[in-house]
Structure 1
Amino acid sequence: MKTRLLLLASILFLSVNAHSQVGINTPTPSSTLDVKGSVEGNFREITGTSTLDILDYHVSFSGASDATLNLPAKSTTDGTPADFRGRKYYIKNNSTTNNLTLVAAAGQIIRSGGMAAANNTFMMQPGKYAVLTASGANGWDLDVVVSSVAANNWELASMDNQGPVIAFQAISTSGYTTLSGSAVTVIVPAGYTQRKVVLNFTGFGEGSGTTNAQGTLRFQIVQTGTATATYGSVNMMSWVSLSGAIRSFNHSTSYSISGLNPGTYTFNLQVSREGEIGVGAVTNWGTVGRADVYVK
């Protein structure tokens, strides 16, 4: 009888403890796990492309070139040992000039929330810090992204600069002509609530015709890539030749576009002739294009 009572008491004791709170450095834990002290996790430093695994906790990137950090395939949601929802990874890009791109497994996503669409990849710029949490929504939640740059400041994320292309290019008398050297391609990254592309185009050309020849040039920007669009009448300029001699001119166009979804975009400057009197030919001799992507 005594043996049975002791066995029953032991079972009850184990049952209670299996569902109790655990305290470390505290006799009265107030949470499921209550730690009064520091918590230590595995630290790993990488300098190139790598893959997160079950032993990782904090991963620091300090490579001399851009690299990729691959994430484990998503957790199951069935309560088995393969169900690791809630697992966290802490990632820091300590490189001074190079990006670290987080890549989810094929067909899976990284959710940032807000205006940022869920994507398979997320680019961490130098100085960025991220916390990843395994979710039940086909991938990972990107919980925190912070930077040494103040939250209200815009920062440069991508840029492209082309030209000058010095070449004779006749401007058509009908429709729009795409100017050589104006094409610029940039990547608009995910993971930000605001994104803005600033475009700048400059060029020079000449017009000719009779005495008092005059004309007007109208410019538009054509966008291709992840989404297509045409931004009409972004600039206009007029020229006149009082003597009938060849008249040289410069043109400069600046335009900004906000709210583009993450993706890759190419922008071209186009020009059309209009409002002409006594004009013979209009020629563009050179164009420079530049695009800057700002995010915050």
Structure 2
Amino acid sequence: MKTKLLFLASTVFLSANAYSQVGINTLTPSSTLDIRGSVEGNFREITGTSTLDNKDYHVSFSGTTDAVLNLPTKSTTDGSMADFRGRKYYIKNNSISNKLTLTAASGQTIRLGGSGTASNTIDLKPGKFGFLTANGLNGWDLDFVATAYNDSWVLANSDINGPAVPTSQVIPSGASFTTVNGCSVTVTVPAGVTSSKVVLSFTGWGDAAGSISAIGSFRFQVVRTGTSSATYASTAMTSWALGSAALVRYAYPVVYSISNLAAGTYTFNLQVRREDETGTGITTTFWGTMGRADVYVKD
């Protein structure tokens, strides 16, 4: 009897090793672990800086200021207690406008693949969902779910302004700049982006009158107001010449771009000054200017 029992136990042990698949809600598992039903993991919501540990599974960030989520230190020694390669975390940034910075331990990296470069830190923007997997090298692999990593410029918002009917504006002589009527544009640079660029375009037309062979030029600058103020000098110049006529018409295209303004709302105005004139009885008139501002961003 003892021999039979030992033989039976040995048979069961060998069967368990030969067929080491576990099924939940199924008698015929087709994978190492086959679950026919929902899976429940630990859920934790954070509003500030925190650190992941071995009890976390899904972490949701809903803070009102930027925060950091520190990743646990992992070992590259196979089979060690700190070698948890394959461990997964689901991270969601549910904040309205604040970023969550995922930070690996010192000397370790987070890999994106593609155009994203492995780095010790990665910003998870508002609304983004990240899927972290501990890799077998020296850190973590990160997938952005639904909204993939994007290294392209995207138009965030724009504004166009210009007269429906041309309205004349006489540009006076002198050393002072004159604000060009009817072409101011207002745009918003959003928060939570890696890079931003405001592209400005002003296009107008006018005429100059004076003595025969009179010449002159215009110098343009752009003035920024709003969240912060600045003047961008000498953004463009254009010249005119009468020749043998008493009147000449001209166009004045002005294109200028500004990178990485702080998040906020800004208004841009075009200003002009007359320069380098020779001749007598000179008058210069602008008949209409169209302004446009486009804000491009990178995630």
Which TM-score band (shorter chain)? 0.5 to 0.7
User: How many angstroms apart in 2 are the aligned matches of 1:291 and 1:83?
Assistant: 49
Q: CA deviation at 1:72?
A: 0.9
More strand by share: 1
AA at the equivalent of 1:94: N
With the length of structure 1 as denominator, give the TM-score of the two structures: 0.57
Distance 1:110 1:291, change over 3 A: farther
Matched, 1:100 2:103: no
Partner of 1:198: 197
Larger Rg: 2
Partner of 1:208: none
User: How many angstroms apart in 2 are the aligned matches of 1:215 and 1:111?
Assistant: 54
AA at the equivalent of 1:92: K
Matched, 1:253 2:252: no
Matched, 1:51 2:54: no
Partner of 1:169: none
Matched, 1:131 2:131: yes
Contact 2:197-2:261 at 8 Å conserved across structures: no
Task: Report the 3-state secondary structure (helix = DSSP H, G, I; strand = E; otherwise coil) of the residue aligned with 2:9.
Answer: helix
- Tell me the matched-pair count: 207
Residue segments in structure 1 that go unaligned for 5+ positions in a row: 157-185, 190-195, 204-210, 220-233, 243-249, 258-263, 267-275, 280-289
Q: CA deviation at 1:137?
A: 2.6
AA at the equivalent of 1:11: S
1:274-294 Cα shifts (integer Å, max 9, x gaps): xx9679xxxxxxxxxx99552
AA at the equivalent of 2:197: V
* Dislocated runs of 4+, deviation >4 Å: 215-219, 239-242, 276-279, 290-293
Partner of 2:143: 143
Distance 1:153 1:127, change over 3 A: farther
**Within 5 A, what are the aligned runs for 1:56-67?**
56-67=56-67
**Within 5 A, what are the aligned runs for 1:44-193?**
44-147=44-147, 154=154, 189=194
Q: CA deviation at 1:256?
A: 8.6
Contact 2:125-2:193 at 8 Å conserved across structures: no
Q: Percent identity?
A: 49
User: How many angstroms apart in 2 are the aligned matches of 1:12 and 1:147?
Assistant: 52
Distance 1:72 1:293, change over 3 A: farther
Partner of 2:298: 295
User: How many angstroms apart in 1 are the aligned matches of 2:298 and 2:72?
Assistant: 28
Contact 1:77-1:136 at 8 Å conserved across structures: no
Distance 1:293 1:8, change over 3 A: farther
Distance 1:39 1:125, change over 3 A: same
Task: Report the 3-state secondary structure (helix = DSSP H, G, I; strand = E; otherwise coil) of the residue aligned with 2:101.
Answer: strand
Partner of 1:160: none
Distance 1:23 1:14, change over 3 A: same
Partner of 1:237: 237
User: How many angstroms apart in 2 are the aligned matches of 1:67 and 1:8?
Assistant: 61
User: How many angstroms apart in 2 are the aligned matches of 1:292 and 1:17?
Assistant: 63
User: How many angstroms apart in 2 are the aligned matches of 1:155 and 1:237?
Assistant: 28
1:132-189 Cα shifts (integer Å, max 9, x gaps): 00002311101233349x9x99375xxxxxxxxxxxxxxxxxxxxxxxxxxxxx9974
Task: Report the 3-state secondary structure (helix = DSSP H, G, I; strand = E; otherwise coil) of the residue aligned with 1:11.
Answer: helix
Task: Report the 3-state secondary structure (helix = DSSP H, G, I; strand = E; otherwise coil) of the residue aligned with 1:59.
Answer: strand
Contact 1:197-1:291 at 8 Å conserved across structures: no
Contact 2:60-2:92 at 8 Å conserved across structures: yes
1:206-246 Cα shifts (integer Å, max 9, x gaps): xxxxx956458799xxxxxxxxxxxxxx964225699xxxx
Distance 1:277 1:254, change over 3 A: closer
User: How many angstroms apart in 1 are the aligned matches of 2:192 and 2:294?
Assistant: 10
Q: CA deviation at 1:79?
A: 2.3
Q: CA deviation at 1:120?
A: 1.2
Q: CA deviation at 1:75?
A: 3.7
Q: CA deviation at 1:80?
A: 2.9
CA RMSD of aligned residues (A): 4.2
